[in-house]
């Protein structure tokens, strides 16, 4: 019997709980991939924008031209920057306050997505345990009628399959979630570094000279 045939048999023996676990696994991985894509794209844009702003300043571009260039960019980070620079008060303290306000909003939004992800990952072993309990109830109900100990051992083995499946689904999700949290930490550090580049664009004395 091949490995995949063993997996198929395991899923079929677990009953309708296996279908629920499969659906939960599918939703979890779709959510994981979407969050990974969002974090990767946002982190890349943040790091790249920091370097681009520095290079443009070193090339002698005016801060007004750089702000205009930023307005044509799309994504979370340009949205934050445009919100910060929309204020008429370009003192560094004001820009920092507006930046913290905007970045905290985005960070809170990502935190909520991690909350949903954690709920999906933790639901798998609980759903598997529920399947085991339901299977055990059916097994002992059958035992009370037939008294066949072989039937009990087979029923218990089958009932434990859902717990095994739940753990097999949850473990990769736990490791993937930990990986995304490290990526999120890197993004938070890049966002903290970006404020210094924005402050260079918000010097009010430069506006007067321009």
pLDDT digits (tens, 9 = 90+) for 2-22: 655 665 665 566 667 777 888
Cα 61 to Cα 16, 51, 56, 93, 148: the distances in Å are 64, 14, 6, 23, 85
The rounded distance, in Å, linking the Cα atoms of 84 and 157 is 60
Does the pLDDT at position 195 exceed 50?
Answer: yes
Residues 130, 131, 133: CA angle, nearest 5 degrees: 65
Name the token pair of 48: 């790249």
The rounded distance, in Å, linking the Cα atoms of 64 and 149 is 82
Domain residue limits, the chain: 15-204
Does the pLDDT at position 75 exceed 80?
Answer: no
pLDDT of residue 208: 35
The rounded distance, in Å, linking the Cα atoms of 43 and 181 is 13
Residue among 27, 34, 40 at smallest CA distance from 121: 27
Least confident among 130-134, 150-154, 181-185: 150-154
The rounded distance, in Å, linking the Cα atoms of 152 and 163 is 17
Does the pLDDT at position 58 exceed 70?
Answer: yes
Residue among 10, 187, 2, 207 at smallest CA distance from 106: 187
Least confident among 48-52, 125-129, 173-177: 48-52
Q: Do the beta carbons of residue 117 and residue 32 sit within 8 Å?
A: yes
Confidence band, pLDDT 50/70/90 cuts, at residue 30: very high
pLDDT over 90, % of the chain: 1
pLDDT of residue 209: 39
Q: How far is CA 100 from the centre of its chain?
A: 21
Least confident among 42-51, 103-112, 183-192: 42-51
């Amino acid at each position: 019997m091949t490995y995949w045939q063993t997996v198929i048999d395991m899923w079929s023996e677990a009953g309708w709980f296996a279908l629920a676990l499969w659906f939960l696994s599918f939703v979890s991985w779709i959510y994981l991939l979407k969050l990974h894509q969002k974090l990767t794209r946002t982190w890349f844009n943040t790091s790249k924008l920091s370097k681009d702003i520095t290079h443009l300043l070193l090339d002698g571009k005016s801060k007004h031209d750089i702000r205009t260039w930023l307005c044509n960019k799309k994504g979370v980070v340009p949205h934050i920057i445009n919100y910060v620079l929309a204020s008429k008060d370009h003192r560094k303290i004001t820009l920092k306050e507006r930046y913290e306000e905007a970045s905290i909003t985005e960070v809170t939004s990502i935190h909520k997505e991690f909350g949903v992800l954690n709920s999906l990952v933790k639901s798998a072993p609980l759903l598997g345990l529920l399947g085991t309990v339901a299977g055990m109830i059916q097994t002992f109900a059958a035992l009370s009628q037939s008294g066949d100990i072989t039937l009990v051992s087979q029923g218990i083995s089958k009932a434990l399959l859902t717990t095994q499946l739940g753990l097999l689904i949850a473990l990769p999700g736990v490791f993937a979630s930990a990986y995304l949290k490290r990526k999120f930490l890197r993004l938070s550090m890049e966002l903290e570094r970006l404020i210094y580049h924005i402050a260079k664009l918000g010097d009010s004395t430069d506006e007067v000279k321009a």
